[in-house]
Structure 1
């Protein structure tokens, strides 16, 4: 029996395709950032601090610059006085040597006037050393050494005199030793002191700084201008009265202090090239003249072997011609003419005639009188010029000190004005 095939069930239909993903809605536009919050009171406090600091720093630093100038003028006066003091010591020692060598030529009992002049020159030198050591601690070491050298010189001169009175030839050895040691040991130390004090004085005269004051004023005004601009942009006010008043104070103080420092600086420059330079030159000439006079006598003391002393005389004479005031050279020219006669007599083997011309005080024939007149004239010129230099440096210093104090006060006043100007804006904001 045949079997009938049973039909198979149809396969299930495939699952429906997944529905397309629904596109996500576009994100909402990012909202604009809210404007940042400005803490105006804190900003005003910051500006006030800046403005007040500018004004106060300006006042303090400007006052300090003026105070430094005031101190510099004082130091310049002290250093000038010390320089003159040292040069006077130098001239006094060489004047003493000129007197001692000249008196030695006479032999026997020396001239009492010359002896008194010698003693006065030595005492003046020793007193000057003590005063200089007290006035300038930086010079004390060299001055202490110099003091001992002067004492050694005096002791050798005393030996030379004692032997010369008795006619002993060894007296000349002591005299030559004393003069040689004075130039080998004492004079170089004195020259070092002169150079150092000259440098100190000139450096101190350059202690005025008008350009520093100008720079400080410009910086302060720029700072206040910036502050006014920031306030104007924030509060729509072109000019802040408080800041403007502060700027006017700064400008006024700057003009006055710059003018004062400029005038003082110009005065110091004129002084350095005028009275100060004249005093230094005259002192240099006086020292060289006394050295020349001593070498004149030393030439004769050495009796024909003093060529080196004549060379030294010529070198010192050139220094005198270069540094002495022209109006005082008349007596010096008379002396140099008579010195030439002394040299001729000595060269012609007329030693006694040369000594007589070198030691006589007769103005008509001797070399001593015109030399002493020249020395006295130089001493007077040095005193006049040095007094003027020191006096000018000290005069008017009180004004610089007063301006320095006022500058501090006005700087504080400018700071208060800034605070008040910003206080107005602070009240407007509140």
Structure 2
């Protein structure tokens, strides 16, 4: 019987079976609602991020850095030119307004005031002359009314009706025909020898002094305020332009120093030309605006200040003359509020006090002999006028009305002659100061002319020079 070998004998082993690959998982049917993973496309990068990366990459090389610096410098120069052109254009426009708009309007407003006051004075003088007014008096009154009406029409055409000046012009246009109507009634009654004529004349004077002249004074104040505002705008320093110029010059100097340190070349012709162009603009800006400020300030502090004082003096003389005439017309019928004195005589004294005060101030403001001479003649005429007025009042107080009338409107040694001397001298002084103002204001405006266009052209040339200078350096790397 055969037995298997014992445990210690070597037995043969069957070979290990080959590994069976694992079966792929069965696909999940779509109906089972399983999520199928999909590929997510890469998010596109923002354009600015791409450009920023390119700039960072370019900044790692010297040519790239030169391109960036050149572009920035060119933009700075162009921005400097644009800011200078804009700011100086605004200053030049304001200076143009001073010469061509606001000062003429202020002068016209003063003329409206003077025409109205002179018309009132002339009407009273004509009334005192009797039933038949002298032709020259009638002509002067008519010229005053027509002159005031013409200036009011011109002012209304160039003024916003809703503005303060527009309201005053409308008021004067409404009151002017009312005033002239009262004057015509006074004349008609005077020709018939009726005492009602004096009442109409006094009422017309009240309308003029109480409503029309205050409106004309407010109109003058508005127009003068506009003139002062325009002058202040023209004289404001262009701080943005000056600051931009300093920044540009500093950047150009830094760039040239950088170039010198890296290349040992003293000059870069393009950068040097750009620096020269920027320097010219800054110097032109500083000098031109300084001259403009000086001339415009001189025009305001000497010319316009003198015009204001002289206009006040002339208006005061006209008012004083009208009140002097009305003293004889009313013959004590109009008293002060307390009943202690004649109202017109009191107003005459106040007007003469104001006249002397304004003449003293005008003499101090006059800065040459041609300006002081007519003011001195006006002072002399005012003193003579007061002396003759005292004689006329003394004559009237003695009961000699005809003698007093002769001393007021007579052909020889009358207060009327003294008034004419004062008025003629003030007219000459006003004409001189108007020429002085216009000359100084035009010089100020002229100092800014050409600067806006010049700054723009030089800025473009400076930017081109920067590009040329940087390209010169870039050509060394090719």
Instruction: Tell me if TM exceeds 0.5.
Output: yes
The reply to whether residue 359 of structure 1 matches residue 409 of structure 2 is yes
Number of residue-to-residue matches in the alignment: 393
What does 1:214-363 align with in structure 2 at a 5 Å threshold?
Answer: 214-228=242-256, 240-304=268-332, 305-306=334-335, 307-324=342-359, 325-360=375-410, 362-363=411-412
Give the Cα separation in 2 of the matches to 1:209 and 1:158. 52
Note if contact 1:79-1:201 (Cα within 8 Å) is conserved in structure 2: yes
Instruction: For residue 136 of structure 1, report the CA deviation from its aligned partner.
Output: 4.5
CA distance, structure 1, for counterparts of residue 222 and residue 281 of structure 2? 37
* Aligned residue in 1 for 2:97: 75
Name 2:470's counterpart in structure 1: 422
1:423 Cα deviation from its structure 2 partner? 1.4
Contact 2:78–2:463 at 8 Å: present in 1 too?
Answer: yes
**Contact 2:298–2:440 under 8 Å retained in 1:** no
Residues 62-93 of structure 1 deviation map (CA, whole Å, 9 limit, x = unaligned): 22232223212211112222211111111111
Q: 1:349-401: per-residue Cα shift (whole Å, max 9, x none)?
A: 444432332222x232x111121222122223212321332244235745633
Query: Mean Cα displacement is larger for which, 70-79 or 387-396?
Result: 387-396
Shift of 1:151: 1.2
Structure 1 Cα separation of the partners of residues 91 and 379 of structure 2:
38
Partners in 1 of 2:173 and 2:443 — Cα distance? Answer: 34
CA contact (8 A) 1:243 1:417 kept: yes
Question: Could you tell me which residue of structure 1 aligns to residue 50 of structure 2?
Answer: none
Aligned counterpart for 1:205 among listed residues 207, 210, 231: 231
Give the 3-state SS of the residue equivalent to 2:383 in structure 1: helix
Determine whether 1:375 maps to 2:423: yes
* Inter-partner Cα distance in structure 2 for 1:392 and 1:133: 28
- Matches of 1:328 and 1:217 in 2, distance apart? 52
The match for 1:89 among 112, 132, 139 is 112
1:96 counterpart SS class: helix
Contact 1:242 1:419 in 2 (8 A): yes
Inter-partner Cα distance in structure 1 for 2:376 and 2:330:
33
Change (3 A) 1:421 1:53: same
Deviation at 1:235, TM superposition (A): 6.4
Partner of 1:3: none
Q: Quick check: 1:214–1:254 contact (8 Å CA) kept in 2?
A: yes
Q: In structure 1, what is the Cα distance between the partners aligned to 2:155 and 2:393?
A: 39
Deviates further, 386-395 or 235-244: 235-244
| Residues 10-31 of structure 1: CA deviation (Å, up to 9, x unaligned) | xxxxxxxxxxxxxxxxxxxxxx
Are the equivalent residues in 2 in contact too, given 1:54–1:224 (CA < 8 A)? no
Does the aligned pair in 2 maintain the 1:81–1:390 contact within 8 Å? Answer: no
Q: Is the contact between residue 156 and residue 177 of structure 1 (CA under 8 Å) also seen in structure 2?
A: yes
- Counterpart in the other structure of 2:208: 182
The answer (yes or no) to whether the contact 1:210–1:258 under 8 Å persists in 2 is: no
Does the CA contact (< 8 Å) of 1:109 and 1:165 recur in 2?
yes
Q: Which residue of 1 aligns with 2:18?
A: none
Instruction: After TM superposition, list the pairs within 5 Å mapping 1:100-179 onto structure 2.
Output: 100-137=123-160, 139-179=165-205
Q: Which structure carries more relative contact order (alpha carbon 8 Å, separation 6+)? A: 1
* Contact in 1 for aligned 2:237/2:289 (Cα 8 Å): yes
CA–CA distance in structure 2, aligned partners of residues 230 and 188 of structure 1: 69
Moved more, 335-344 or 150-159: 335-344
2-side partners of 1:136 and 1:262: how far apart?
Answer: 32
Task: Report SS of the residue matched to 1:75.
Answer: helix
Q: In structure 2, how many angstroms separate the alpha carbons of the residues matched to 1:154 and 1:216?
A: 61
* Secondary structure class of the residue paired with 2:449: helix
